[in-house]
Chains A and B, each alone.
Chain A
Amino acid sequence: MASSAAPSHHSTSGVQSGDTLSAGPELAVRSQGLDKIFPNGFQALRKVDLAVAKGEVVVIMGPSGSGKSTLIRTFNGLETIQGGHLEVLGYHLDADNNQKVVSKIRHHVGMVFQSFNLFPHLSILENVTLAPVWVQKRDRQTVKKDALALLDHVGIREQAHKYPSQLSGGQQQRVAIARALALSPQLMLFDEPTSALDPEKVKEVLETIRALAAEGMTMVVVTHEVGFAREVADRVVFMDEGMIVEEASPQTFFTDPKEERSQLFLSRIL
């Protein structure tokens, strides 16, 4: 999984529609006063302000129910927003949740889920080629070649013709990463990518994500893996009760947290 063997579409130097970008070319995500209120009235996000620079790796931590998953799910429109403003890769989104904008964002943002969510009726290879063929309408043969290269990159090329149910959790998650990368995203979102894995499988998935970070991919990772955050994150964002409580470099956050709630959280997990 040497990072030097990265296929070209792993680079984050994708074309940027500069004219739609108001906050300078360096930001991948910017949220301002973001509110998320679920139909049952529960407010999951309260005026969240967050900026993620291009090439940056941001790790979001926090107790369960703190809104961290909800936050990154708003970044690709899986959750609608009820207030505030969101800007992802130059596309602007607010409470009207324009579906056209959302679908454009999704073409450039990859997402990896806690429970992998591979398509069980498709082979590993078909899982990876589905979106490039049908969404990007690229040539099947090229897509297949690229997909095999990606699977090789995450170390599962031999399993290309198996089905998800025949793979271990760690392997499935690596396929899910390859599937998201197949669209050459400029931003990758990871929603607790190792939480559903057996302990011995966590490492192989984290290695894959780490390699991706080394290649310069912009990433927002929701995780409880402190070791990973310490090593890979450029910045740790701590959330609680739908608000960002503290933002700091991993060194500062793990050794000298400022806020009481961060200290309490860290004392429980460290």
Chain B
Amino acid sequence: MAESPRSGPWSRPLLRQIRRGLFASPLDTVITVVLAVLCGGGLWSFLHWVFLQADWAVVVENIRLYIHGRFPVEQVWRSWSWLGLLGVLCLATLMPARMLPRPVLRLLPLLWILILPIGLLLLAGGLGFEPVKSRFWGGLQLSLLLTLGTVLMALPLGILLALARRSSLPLLRWLTTGYIELTRGMPLIAVLFFGQLMIPLFLPEGWTFNRVLRAVLSLGFFVGAYMAEDVRGGLQSIPKTQLEAARSLGLSPLLTVALVELPQALRTALPSLANQCVASLQSTSLLAYLGLIELLGISRSILGNPSFLGRHLEVYIWLALLYWAVCILMTSLARRLERTLKVSDHH
């Protein structure tokens, strides 16, 4: 019927598609109508709640806390500067490559590494900046710092572990395999507890180190084990003939790994590695239960304030939006990187 050319509203392609997809038979029509009523009702009551019932004061009045935590007000420009730099770096990375001058383009990877020490300097102080204790770091700023630190630690660790796991030295191989399997067998929250609560007990009296650093170390060691497996998958996807070509050109084993294997392996592993990076951001929220006032932690303490009693829904929807926005940013950065590397990818 639909094929026969006839006039009327159903002859337009879009409408025809709708009719075929949603109203093809009486049963289809019933299902469509019921689902439409349910969805419409849900959307209506959600919008009704958002605009008429919800009290967004809990978000609006605490914006500074969500972003900077309890960072001293007079020093808050330092937190802003770091977030600003991070934003500019994201923008520069996302811009089409031809719009950037070549030197900047070359420096981008280095800048992504440097942004961490710059952040630490701006937040912690030193070099002329007034020191700010890490317990005053918080909010989105701390979540981003934790994520960045974790990724920058886990990626090199993952690469080293993946290489060690296929080493010709049995001891090294066993140790790394054991480490990776053990770490993957533990829940992250247990690892974080260990890092936050147990490590200080084992250290000699008076030896403490920063709990943000402890969190990054625990997360980094954990995520590194997962990344190692992604990199290993990438390494395994490289045909043996590539190694033969490298060897016959006289490349040493080290050069073969650095110039032939890793570049190809990381390209293959990139989507999974990007996945781990996003997962790292989500994982930082577990630290809320260990006393760090990162994004989730600060929200919990805002909810503890009697004047915002019972405003959970508002806060968690707002949090979901924030996490989602950062995740979208991270995945677009990853896609950008994939596109840049893609030229040589289709063989």
CA separation between A55 and B316, bound complex, in Å?
Answer: 78
B263 & A106 in contact (Cβ 8 Å cutoff): no
In the complex, A130 has a CB within 8 A of chain B: yes
B245 to chain A, nearest CB (A): 4
Given A121-B263, A122-B344, A164-B344, are A131 and B250 also a contact pair (CB < 8 Å)? Answer: yes
Please encode chain B, from 23 to 58, with 1 for each CB lying within 8 Å of some chain A CB and 0 for all others: 000000000000000000000000000000000000
Given A121-B264, A163-B344, A165-B344, are A78 and B247 also a contact pair (CB < 8 Å)? Answer: yes
Residues of B within 8 A of A119 (CB): 242, 245-246, 260, 264
A113 & B241 in contact (Cβ 8 Å cutoff): yes
B264 & A120 in contact (Cβ 8 Å cutoff): yes
B269 to chain A, nearest CB (A): 13
A115 & B250 in contact (Cβ 8 Å cutoff): no
Please encode chain B, from 243 to 276, with 1 for each CB lying within 8 Å of some chain A CB and 0 for all others: 0111111111001000110011001000000000
Residues of A within 8 A of B249 (CB): 106, 130-131, 135, 179-180, 183
Please encode chain A, from 99 to 118, with 1 for each CB lying within 8 Å of some chain B CB and 0 for all others: 00001001101110101011
Residues of B within 8 A of A118 (CB): 245
In the complex, B339 has a CB within 8 A of chain A: no
Residues of A within 8 A of B250 (CB): 103, 106-107, 131, 135, 183
CA separation between A76 and B255, bound complex, in Å?
Answer: 18
A120 & B347 in contact (Cβ 8 Å cutoff): yes
In the complex, A134 has a CB within 8 A of chain B: yes
- Contacts between the two chains (Cβ within 8 Å), count: 67
Main secondary structure on B side of the interface with A: helix
B247 & A106 in contact (Cβ 8 Å cutoff): yes
**Chain B interface residue count, Cβ-Cβ cutoff 8 angstroms:** 23
Please encode chain A, from 116 to 149, with 1 for each CB lying within 8 Å of some chain B CB and 0 for all others: 0111111100000011001100000000000000
B248 & A78 in contact (Cβ 8 Å cutoff): yes
Residues of B within 8 A of A179 (CB): 249
CA separation between A103 and B347, bound complex, in Å?
Answer: 30
Given A103-B250, A130-B249, are A165 and B242 also a contact pair (CB < 8 Å)? Answer: no
Q: How large is the interface on A (under 10, 10 to 19, 20 to 34, 35 or more residues)?
A: 20 to 34
CA separation between A169 and B251, bound complex, in Å?
Answer: 24
A131 & B264 in contact (Cβ 8 Å cutoff): no
Residues of A within 8 A of B242 (CB): 117, 119
Residues of B within 8 A of A109 (CB): 248
Q: Using CB atoms, name the residue of chain B closest to A104.
A: B250
CA separation between A110 and B347, bound complex, in Å?
Answer: 24
Residues of A within 8 A of B341 (CB): 121
Residues of A within 8 A of B346 (CB): 165
B255 & A78 in contact (Cβ 8 Å cutoff): no
A106 & B347 in contact (Cβ 8 Å cutoff): no
Kindly identify, within residues 305 to 346 of chain B, every residue whose CB is under 8 Å from any CB belonging to chain A.
Answer: 341, 343-346
Residues of B within 8 A of A111 (CB): 248
Q: Using CB atoms, name the residue of chain B closest to A77.
A: B247
Residues of B within 8 A of A117 (CB): 241-242, 244-245
CA separation between A52 and B244, bound complex, in Å?
Answer: 23
Q: Using CB atoms, name the residue of chain A closest to B245.
A: A117
Contact of A103 among B252, B260, B264, B345 (CB under 8 A): B252
B343 to chain A, nearest CB (A): 6
Q: Using CB atoms, name the residue of chain A closest to B256.
A: A134
B241 & A165 in contact (Cβ 8 Å cutoff): no
CA separation between A77 and B244, bound complex, in Å?
Answer: 10
Residues of B within 8 A of A120 (CB): 264, 344-345, 347
CA separation between A119 and B242, bound complex, in Å?
Answer: 7
B270 to chain A, nearest CB (A): 12
Residues of A within 8 A of B241 (CB): 113, 115, 117
Kindly identify, within residues 137 to 181 of chain A, every residue whose CB is under 8 Å from any CB belonging to chain B.
Answer: 163-165, 179-180
CA separation between A107 and B249, bound complex, in Å?
Answer: 7
Interface-centre pick from B241, B244, B248, B346 (highest chain A CB count, 10 A): B248
Other A-B pairs beyond A115-B241, A165-B345, 10, CB < 8 Å: A77-B247, A78-B247, A118-B245, A119-B264, A120-B345, A120-B347, A121-B264, A121-B267, A163-B344, A164-B347
A residues sitting closer than 8 Å to B (CB atoms) are: 76-78, 103, 106-107, 109-111, 113, 115, 117-123, 130-131, 134-135, 163-165, 179-180, 183
A-B contact pairs, 14 of them (CB 8 A): A106-B247, A106-B249, A110-B248, A117-B242, A117-B244, A118-B245, A119-B242, A120-B264, A120-B347, A123-B344, A135-B251, A164-B347, A165-B344, A183-B250
By Cβ-Cβ distance, the 4 closest A-B pairs, closest first, are A117-B245, A131-B249, A163-B344, A106-B250
